[in-house]
Amino acid sequence: MSLAEQLARAREAIGYPQEDVANALGVTRTMISYWESGKRRPNERQLVALAHLYGVEVRDLLEAPAPEPRPDLAQMMFRGHPNLGPQAKRGIEEFVRFLDTYAELADLMNFPIRGLYQSRFGLVPGFDTLDDARRKAEEVRAHLRLGIGPVGDLDAICELLGVTVYRAGLGPDLETAVSGAFLKHPKVGFSVLVNLEMTPGRRRFTLAHELAHALFHSDRRPFVISGPTKDGQERFANAFAGEVLMPTEGIRRAMEEYGIGPQIDRPADVVHLQRFFRVSYATALVRLRQARALTAADFEAFKQIRPVLFAEQLGYEPSDEEYEQDVERWRIRRFPPRFLALLRLAITRDAISVPTAANLTALSIDEIEELVQEDQPVDEQTRAELAGFTAARVVDA
């Protein structure tokens, strides 16, 4: 803790406003503010007077305990991935900074993050084949009571499980970029990073893929960076993600209800099923082939179509992000709703200022002020916790 922070803490502990301290020392209130912000430093005589006024020793103000060393989690994640490009590294560093900020803000506000640190699911050695991955996906869907239809809000499911989701630009070229990452943060728990420079369908698949790492590989690996490598755990995560987003039984039922098949021979039917399950066209092709609803020849032939343009011709309204990805569109949306609710609470309770919040999040002051004014969507449990927290603070005050 710096001298400036010690001065502010000592004054607040005794309950003196800056104006009274300024009057006692014969300086301006602005000077007190400068001292407590680190812009200026009191001279020796002024420091002695401050210590006397606050009822502490001068050494108590000067001899701050050394901060605990913080592990460099980003560098830890970089090791073993020599092909990471600069943009991917910046995105991973941004991800780790956000998690650290989230933990510090939660500590400041004494507010629970509700992070997951230990998965209730697991893998017994020898039961980690692709068929096991699909079976585990069925277990997770059953646990979450998702049925066999499309998955709705995957972010909300992660929030329910206690998995924190953050998004950042990691680069469009997977030779030097990554699709996503998983990190078991010491204070936030299981956390997932998703590359914003991918199509919406690919982002959903990445989120489900990283969820597999969190639920089934976190006991042996504190982090995973998911790229083009095809090791056993990556293949397991891919199979899990495909079955979670587009379950085999759900495919057959959808085909039956839509009057498709039992063998698909038109790319239009692939697009219809892709849109129904809210997955990428590539994922739909792979899952339909795995479900034996596509022949090998049609699988190869259907790869050649332009799915977004074709979907538009079929009457669908593709989002702009299917044509072009723009990280700037995600400014405030890259943060999880629970963090935004906590940030809003910290500002409205005067725990941090609007400029400080803007600095912590790399958002503009206008965006922070808009956040404070708006009632951000959060789940019912978070809303109840925030309401109880605020009420308790008001009573304490």
pTM: 0.77
Judged by phi (left if over 0) then psi (alpha if -120 to 50, else beta), residue 226 lies in beta
Q: In angstroms, rounded to a whole number, what is the distance separating the alpha carbons of residues 163 and 209?
A: 13
Mean predicted confidence (pLDDT) in 106-131 = 89
Residue 394 has pLDDT above 90, yes or no: no
**Structure confidence at residue 377 (pLDDT):** 55
Residue 266 has pLDDT above 50, yes or no: yes
Q: What is the pLDDT of residues 36-52, one digit of tens each?
A: 998 899 988 889 888 87
User: Which residue's entry shows tokens 């301290």?
Assistant: 21
**Structure confidence at residue 211 (pLDDT):** 96
Q: What is the pLDDT of residues 146-203, one digit of tens each?
A: 999 999 899 999 999 999 999 999 998 877 788 999 998 988 999 999 999 999 999 9
Q: Is 94 helix (H, G, I), strand (E, B) or coil?
A: helix
Name the CATH topology of 3-62: 434 Repressor (Amino-terminal Domain) (1.10.260)
Tell me which of 103-112, 156-165, 277-286 is least confident.
103-112
Q: Are 182 and 223 in contact (CB under 8 A)?
A: yes
Two tokens, residue 255: 């085909």
User: Domain segments of the chain: what residues?
Assistant: 3-62, 73-245, 248-323, 331-396
Residue 305 has pLDDT above 50, yes or no: yes
Q: In angstroms, rounded to a whole number, what is the distance separating the alpha carbons of residues 177 and 164?
A: 21
Q: Are 63 and 1 in contact (CB under 8 A)?
A: no
Two tokens, residue 207: 């989120």
Residues 6+ apart with CB under 8 A from 263: 293, 294, 295
Mean predicted confidence (pLDDT) in 27-34 = 91
Q: In angstroms, rounded to a whole number, what is the distance separating the alpha carbons of residues 119 and 310?
A: 41
Q: What is the pLDDT of residues 308-356, one digit of tens each?
A: 999 999 999 988 888 888 888 899 999 999 999 999 999 998 888 999 9
Give the DSSP letter of residue 327: G
Name the CATH topology of 73-245: Arc Repressor Mutant, subunit A (1.10.10)
Two tokens, residue 214: 């969190």
